[in-house]
Chains A and B, each alone.
Chain A
Amino acid sequence: MTDSKYFTTTKKGEIFELKAELNSDKKEKKKEAVKKVIASMTVGKDVSALFPDVVNCMQTDNLELKKLVYLYLMNYAKSQPDMAIMAVNTFVKDCEDPNPLIRALAVRTMGCIRVDKITEYLCEPLRKCLKDEDPYVRKTAAVCVAKLHDINAQLVEDQGFLDTLKDLISDSNPMVVANAVAALSEIAESHPNSNLLDLNPQTINKLLTALNECTEWGQIFILDCLANYMPRDDRESQSICERVTPRLSHANSAVVLSAVKVLMKFMEMLPKDLDYYGTLLKKLAPPLVTLLSAEPELQYVALRNINLIVQKRPEILKHEMKVFFVKYNDPIYVKLEKLDIMIRLASQANIAQVLAELKEYATEVDVDFVRKAVRAIGRCAIKVEQSAERCVSTLLDLIQTKVNYVVQEAIVVIKDIFRKYPNKYESVIATLCENLDSLDEPEARAAMIWIVGEYAERIDNADELLESFLEGFHDESTQVQLQLLTAIVKLFLKKPTETQELVQQVLSLATQDSDNPDLRDRGYIYWRLLSTDPVAAKEVVLAEKPLISEETDLIEPTLLEELICHIGTLASVYHKPPSAFVEGSRGVQHKKLTARAGSGESAESPDVGLSGPSEAPPAVIPSQGDLLGDLLNLDLAPPTATVPSVQPSMQMGAMDLLGGGLDSLMGDESDTLGGDIGGSPSMGGGLGVAPAAMPAALGGAPAVGGGLGDLFDLSGGVGMPTGSYVAPKTVWLPAMKAKGLEISGTFARRGGIIQMDLSLTNKAMSVMTDFAIQFNRNSFGLAPAGPLQVLTPLSPNQTIDVSLPLSTSGPVMKMEPLNNLQVAVKNNIDVFYFSCQYPISMIFVEDGKMERQVFLATWKDIPNDNEALFQIKDIHLNSDAASNKLQGSNIFTIAKRTVEGQDMLYLSVKLTNGIWVLAEMRIQTGNPNYTEMELSIKCRAPEVSPFVFQCYELVLKN
């Protein structure tokens, strides 16, 4: 009998035919029909229309047919919840069946039907099954609790299933224990602080006993759970380690890796002088090496983990270099990982072998692999000084092959070698220069230019070489441009007489003809330095550079510790914390290694290994990418989140700009070539002393005139955010109501200060003097921060503009509407009263950007009743532009993600009185006009929401 025929039918009217067959009286025909339905379901056809007919087949003694119907049910019940109820009776009945296989089948399937109404009926049968006499049923029921928890966590808690589950940890059957542990671990993950697992020495002992007896998978569940336990002292750590080490000989690699995880974690708590500590270290190496003879996919997982282990404890595998030698037929992913580990293990003892291997790899086929191999040679040179010479000559051999990407990669690494060993290998420069023409990658070009600049005095035709690059200056990438600028300046400082023209050329290219602010900034700095104090310029530009570090690509220590706690899992494969790729609350907990209490080597306090989300995230942030979607699975990078807040004064702006430019200059340098400028303290000092004088001084140099303008343009444009939206003035007090005084005004927030901009117009016939202003009590305590400054008398038909700074420290009273402000203005004629409404964005403070973690917590914390939904129509903005605009008004984008063609922005706002207003904004990206946005606002004081919404609308529409 072949079942493949079920896959072939695709004719029209199939559903109708199937319906007839399903309702057939013949059992065989029915079963055939259900099989066809399942086959259709598998290939993605929608057969949900057959729901009632299939469910009708459920009442059968034929177990195979029953299983097929169940399979169908699991797929479609959610789309047909009402119909699914029909199945409940059969489930309940099956849970009482004398055959344990059928009882288990029923409870297993019921848990997979995610319909609320069904879960109610599930409770009683589940309770019975958890206490069933047959272990097969109990182990199935244990998992079912996790299923139910996933559907309705509250129900599980209310029904007390968690306690029953905990009891199962003491079950006599090891598989029941293992499944209970798995279920509890999963549930505990979504309740980080619940102490659900409640691991104590007694339960640990039970787990360790079950470990010896359960299936390989059960062992994995138990070991993964054990890894979360925190032993009380070294003796307990040691005894657990002793009982876990036999697992290292298990044939299942996952068991081995999970055991390694437990050992790596608990080892941290053992005193280093303990004999056992050394024994344990020795025991770890062989199983790790054995993992490399597993199937390639597992080798990959193992290698990614070994990469972490080697960084944490290099001593474990230091003698095992050979096993990481690449085999010709290894899949590329295995090759690349092996290479990484080889470099980490390279030392003086094995460097000869390593180099011979690397040279071999550099002739392979795969471009990525070859590049990495070449780069590795460079890293060996830097890491092991004794080998540097050999590495350099190997690299020279490789350059002779003339294979384009090999040559370029070699030049990039040779540059690093020059950095590490200055003035040692210049003899190779001639060879490098021969390959100048073949370099087409920016990194290689930049490296070559750096070398020429650095050793300009020893290269006779350095000026010619650099000049040749200058021709296509504007087509080069920024990296190359910056490098070229620096190199020519270096050349000038070394050979001033012949190269004056060249340096002027490059400075004008960089400052006048370039749109790149980094390049322009650097150009100006050099120019200024050269024109004012060439000696200082020499000190700065030709300063001694700091040494480059030996190890590269090391994972940042806190992240490494967290990843060690996740050995064997996806996190250790991606080298990212789980929070970076897991949605929702799962994986938010940061695990960390805990060192032995009282040991001198680590300052960390021996607190609990599991830390709740409330705990502050690790201080050192690994990299942007790793933080990806820390919470709410938000994508990172709110478009312009890092732009500093608005600076009111021009002077400040200019300083900021320079400071920023310098920063990037320094950052850039130290990243690529290591601080031509950054390394020198005199530079920073020089700039820091008189920032205000800078623009003026620049203005003094005639050639820079145009550029100076640019500089100021910049400060108003690119350098600063667009600023908050200010509404045009409206008339608040008409002249007829105030004996000829007309007041119009608006509100603005500048540099963190709320200002009331007023225009006072005298429409009367006599002069007005003695102006004063007062506010009534209002919702946010706005009050004038100073007197109304109208210094000269206001003559008839004259208009005067005043800006009145406001504070928020005045008396508070809730107004209706909330943003209403009652004002009294007095002059020599009378006192006049009027009221006006300020946009609530005036009281959005500059530090209103919430931490992601806090955001999520707060969002959850605020009851759903407080959520208000709004729509903004006719907006022609994409999410980035919107986020930019909002930021100008202190509405901060915390994160952005894209879901099903919609951009979701997560925004926060803080009011002057400390109230936070959170928002989620949904923008259709599919629509080219972005006409509609949906905004849902959450705030503890919901009455604020409509006003906040108004601001959003106002800001976005203007």
Chain B
Amino acid sequence: MIGGLFIYNHKGEVLISRVYRDDIGRNAVDAFRVNVIHARQQVRSPVTNIARTSFFHVKRSNIWLAAVTKQNVNAAMVFEFLYKMCDVMAAYFGKISEENIKNNFVLIYELLDEILDFGYPQNSETGALKTFITQQGIKGQHQTKEEQSQITSQVTGQIGWRREGIKYRRNELFLDVLESVNLLMSPQGQVLSAHVSGRVVMKSYLSGMPECKFGMNDKIVIDKQGKGGTTDDPGKSELGGSGKQSIAIDDCTFHQCVRLSKFDSERSISFIPPDGEYELMRYRTTKDIILPFRVIPLVREVGRTKLEVKVVIKSNFKPSLLAQKIEVRIPTPLNTSGVQVICMKGKAKYKASENAIVWKIKRMAGMKESQISAEIELLPTNDKKKWARPPISMNFEVPFAPSGLKVRYLKVFESKLNYSDHDVIKWVRYIGRSGIYETRC
């Protein structure tokens, strides 16, 4: 199991050091600094073995988090834990920075004592932790016995992510379907790979212990219902809209509140949600993806000292919808001496420090087309190695789900309190963003 956990600043000074196991000595702290943080070359692996001690590290801005062990631990668990640790810290004091860590070091030690025991991760849900560890010191000294046992039963309980007795005057929930669409396209416009990785993020402000059921246009469910001939689907088009009938989901994963066995057997998504914001599910689709933009590059080498670049982008969605925050990044060779750009729409700039021409367009409607052309002057070099021609990448945001996913319903049942599904105010929003959206040139 995890033998120790260290946090360093960018210089390699240790900010937090907690050792859980006897086989980890103080010298481990230095070993990591010397061999990884101060190492000359780029990090070649997130797992490093130094003198029979294994170090797992992740970086958040310029802060290093390292877990050490001398045993054959579950590596995936260690990384998941490190991420979780970051989430917990962020939930307590915001950005993970040297200053914030120093300001909260007592709190961090308390958290580390609670969420890792002898190197075994324990309940690390912030909802539960915040009931007894706070930035203002520890609660619990002046609590009643009932409160105490409520805390412990929540921390250890089946529903460790939600406490009892939550009350809202207005029961409300927000669903965000956030998709990032990833594309790798060849210069000839052939799709080499494309997938959507989506997340359903929920903000719930619901009283009591509500039982929720979530439905979407999952092909498997729809097909099954079609076969069964069920006509009175209670949740039909309650929240959803038009568009594709159903989508094929390659795979999905769920927040731990979702009853996985039920999903496995009936493919229904039922759960008692945590309070506030959390990620209900992640999914991935690869079939019938709407690619919001198409990038058509044209690069021509004119002699040895000049490049001509022309890039056309085409928007491929309903004309009534607007894409936003469009950014096209055209890489330029390292020996670029000057660039002249002409674009039809938006603004384009050559950024020498980033070796790229960045073309920004604030808004663009569907079924439109725009173009940029640039002349790149090159310095003559002796470098034999050819320019690697990195791909042209794109960023954007569109108000629909490129996978075609639609929320069909989200039903809320709370039997003990007197509010029904109809009283809950529900909001759904779809946002499609670019993930890694690249076209080779």
Contact = CB atoms under 8 A, between A and B. Distances in A.
B76 A302 contact: yes
Given A325-B184, A568-B74, A570-B72, A251 B255 contact: yes
Contacts of B46: 296-297, 300, 333
B104 A3 contact: yes
A61 B109 CA distance: 19
B77 A215 contact: no
B103 A2 contact: yes
B251 interface: yes
Interface stretch (B153-161, B168-176, B205-213, B405-413): B153-161
A146 B71 CA distance: 15
Interface in B1-39: 1, 13-17, 19-23, 26, 29
Contact of A64 (B103, B124, B138, B143): B138
A186 B389 CA distance: 52
Contacts of B385: 401, 403
A101 interface: yes
Contact of B80 (A2, A254, A289, A402): A254
A179 B113 contact: no
A590 interface: no
B109 A568 contact: no
A287 B250 CA distance: 9
Given A39-B105, A327-B184, A295 B79 contact: yes
A64 B52 CA distance: 36
A301 B79 contact: yes
A64 B120 contact: no
A336 to B, nearest CB: 8
A136 B156 contact: yes
Contact of A254 (B13, B77, B122, B250): B77
Interface stretch (B257-265, B310-318, B364-372): B257-265
A182 interface: yes
A63 B73 contact: no
A838 to B, nearest CB: 42
B216 to A, nearest CB: 14
Contact of A333 (B45, B256, B279): B45
B160 A215 contact: yes
A43 B13 contact: yes
Contact of B15 (A42, A298, A365): A42
Contact of B77 (A217, A246, A325, A572): A217
Contacts of A70: 113
Which residue, A98, A101, A220, has most C-beta atoms of chain B within 10 A?
A101
Interface stretch (B144-152, B292-300, B339-347): B144-152
Interface string B233-254: 0000000000000000011111
Given A143-B118, A215-B256, A569 B74 contact: yes
Contacts of B82: 297
B80 A252 contact: yes
B354 interface: no
B421 interface: no
B203 interface: no
Nearest to B141: A63
B296 to A, nearest CB: 18
B224 interface: no
B264 A249 contact: yes
Contact of B193 (A213, A221, A322, A581): A322
Interface in A241-267: 243, 245-247, 249-254, 256-258
Interface string A266-291: 00000000000000000000110110
A135 B158 CA distance: 12
B106 to A, nearest CB: 6
Task: Tell me which of A174, A325, A573 has the highest count of chain B C-beta atoms within 10 A of its own C-beta.
Answer: A573
B75 A101 contact: no
B72 A246 contact: no
Contacts of B17: 42, 44
A520 interface: no
Contact of B74 (A137, A258, A286, A289): A258
Contacts of A329: 436
Contacts of A99: 140-141, 143, 148
A806 to B, nearest CB: 46
A224 interface: yes
B390 interface: yes
B73 A570 contact: yes
13 contacts: A3-B104, A7-B105, A99-B148, A101-B132, A179-B117, A214-B158, A217-B123, A250-B256, A298-B83, A329-B436, A332-B42, A401-B386, A582-B70
Interface of A: 2-4, 6-7, 35, 38-39, 42-44, 61-64, 67-68, 70-71, 75, 98-102, 104, 108, 111-112, 114, 134-137, 139-140, 143-144, 146-147, 150, 173-176, 179, 182, 186, 212-217, 220-221, 224, 243, 245-247, 249-254, 256-258, 286-287, 289-290, 293, 295-298, 300-302, 322-323, 325, 327-329, 331-333, 353, 356-357, 360, 363-365, 401-404, 566, 568-574, 578, 581-583, 586-587, 629, 633
Given A289-B251, A328-B391, A403-B384, 8 more contacts: A70-B113, A175-B123, A175-B157, A246-B260, A251-B253, A286-B284, A328-B393, A573-B47
